[in-house]
């Protein structure tokens, strides 16, 4: 029953976007991973980086996989950071690994979920982030690219600033 209600809500949202915004987002249901490490967000650094307290008490920095948001000296930095804060600030999150564990700065590389909300995906869909791939971590890259295309076409989030032009 709950799954039926979720699918109906996604169909209605898709129809509303088509009518009001002139674009039809790819209906992708929230992805709730089977496994992942639980943590609490202690600080939002920017649009794609957070600090979390793991259940063992350790505080670590996490870099979101597959997305990139504006840097401190670029247009839309504050807005992308605020969007990330609205999604994860102070929340319990689930951290899901792709292939790599850390990057060259020793940050954990993870997909981030708050409940059933896939944060990486949501930031791209709302136009606050662009899709990027750093091999070998590419599990959701094609989905992120399509969502980025749709957000750019709708000219939402950071896209009006031109910050994501490649």
Query: Which residue among the candidates 107, 138, 145, 149 is catalytic per the annotation?
Result: 107
Query: Residue 92 catalytic?
Result: no
List the one residue out of 14, 130, 119, 15 whose CA is nearest residue 68. Answer: 130
Query: Residue 71 catalytic?
Result: yes
What are the distances in angstroms from CA 90 to CA 10, 31, 100, 108, 116? 27, 21, 26, 18, 16
Query: Which residue among the candidates 63, 94, 97, 121 is catalytic per the annotation?
Result: 63
Q: Tell me which DSSP letter residue 69 carries.
A: -
Nearest-angstrom CA–CA distance, 87 and 158: 16
Q: Which two tokens stand for residue 138?
A: 């590419």
The answer to whether the beta carbons of residues 128 and 157 sit under 8 Å apart is yes
H/E stretch holding 138 reads none
Query: Residue 110 catalytic?
Result: no
- Catalogue the active-site residues: 63, 71, 107
């Amino acid at each position: 029953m709950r799954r039926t209600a979720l699918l109906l809500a996604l169909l209605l949202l898709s129809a509303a976007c088509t009518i009001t915004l002139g674009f039809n987002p790819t209906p992708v249901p929230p992805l709730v991973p089977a496994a992942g490490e639980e943590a609490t967000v202690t600080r939002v650094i920017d649009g794609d980086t957070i600090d979390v307290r793991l259940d063992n008490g350790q505080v670590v920095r996490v870099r979101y996989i597959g997305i990139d948001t504006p840097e401190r000296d670029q247009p839309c930095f504050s807005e992308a950071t605020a969007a990330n804060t609205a999604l994860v600030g102070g929340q319990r999150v689930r951290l899901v690994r792709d292939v790599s564990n850390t990057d060259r700065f020793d940050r954990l590389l993870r997909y981030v979920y708050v409940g059933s909300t896939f944060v990486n995906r949501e930031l791209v869909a709302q136009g606050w982030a662009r899709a990027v791939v750093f091999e070998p971590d590419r599990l959701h890259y094609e989905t992120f690219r399509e969502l980025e295309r749709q957000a750019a076409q709708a000219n939402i989030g950071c896209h009006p600033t031109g910050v994501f032009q490649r």
